[in-house]
Amino acid sequence: MTEKVLVRVDGRELSLSNLTKVLYPAGGFTKAEVIDYYTRIAPVMLPRLRGRPLTVKRFPNGVERQSFFEKNAPAHTPKWVRKVTLPVPGSTMNREKIDFAVVDDLPTLVYYANLAAIEFHVPMWRVGGDGDPLPPDTLVFDLDPGAPATIVECCRVAVLLRDELERDGLECLPKTSGNKGMQLYARWDRGPGTADYAKALAQRLESAHPLVTSVMARKVRPGRVFIDWSQNNPAKTTVAPYSMRANRLPTVSTPLLWDEVEKCDEPDQLMFTAPEVLARVEEHGDLFGPSGSAP
């Protein structure tokens, strides 16, 4: 029998179900703990989600079982969840438009966590009050290591990127992907053209540093770090800061200190679980916060 618990979150009534279901079998991490994490991390995570059309990756029976990406807001989505209807060129579902949810508040975040939405992915642009897309406000570089390279090599490339961006008047902030790589974010107020800018910078670094490749083809990537500039395509999404990831343990896409990036010499040094990230926020505050440059 499915147990359900009625809760009130910021004035909204939610029915939470299957709270004892284990979503991460290796560590016994339950659905209740996933919901608790997202509730507690909300003050620093919500600013990264607000106004951005949402794509989630859901794991109804845990991270070791079948999963699926979901862009279209479910039919049973509460009326109070903000939704925007946007075109989706090239949709695999042959849809011209999709009703995206937008996580503007804690009740919406908890609603999705209760759907076993482990991962939250968003684009580098927001929608305005009328629901229309705005120009990109974030520049992102996704660093993907080709084995035997690891996040250690990603850190070396991240420093190179940081220095180049600083020379161009852009401050960037690092975070782990929660998997094997990392991303750099920079606030962008120069209108369209983020993908072209990112590609040109990636190619410039590639020509100067053998460790770097700007080419997606896997045959050229072993032992190198792929700078995926294409994540700036308006149709693409990137895992949100503070989102959990579907790994063996409940890892998180974690904002970092540059000191941690510069000193990293072992991959495990930059792998953090949900409880550890909550402790980091308690200690450091929001490393993607108002004092930084990333949205």
Q: pLDDT digit string (tens) for 215-243?
A: 988 888 899 999 999 999 999 999 999 99
Whole-prediction pTM = 0.95
**Contact (Cβ atoms closer than 8 angstroms) between residue 73 and residue 99:** yes
In the chain, % of residues over pLDDT 90: 91
pLDDT in the model for residue 116? 98
**Contact (Cβ atoms closer than 8 angstroms) between residue 272 and residue 159:** no
Dihedral (CA of 119, 253, 89, 92) sign: negative
Tens digit of pLDDT at every position of the chain (295 positions):
468 999 999 999 999 999 999 999 999 999 999 999 999 999 999 999 999 999 999 999 999 999 999 999 999 999 999 999 999 865 555 578 999 999 999 999 999 999 999 999 999 999 999 999 999 999 999 999 999 999 999 999 999 999 999 999 999 999 999 999 999 999 999 999 999 999 999 999 999 999 999 998 888 889 999 999 999 999 999 999 999 999 999 999 999 999 999 999 999 999 999 999 999 999 999 999 764 444 6
pLDDT in the model for residue 293? 42
Q: pLDDT digit string (tens) for 108-157?
A: 999 999 999 999 999 999 999 999 999 999 999 999 999 999 999 999 99
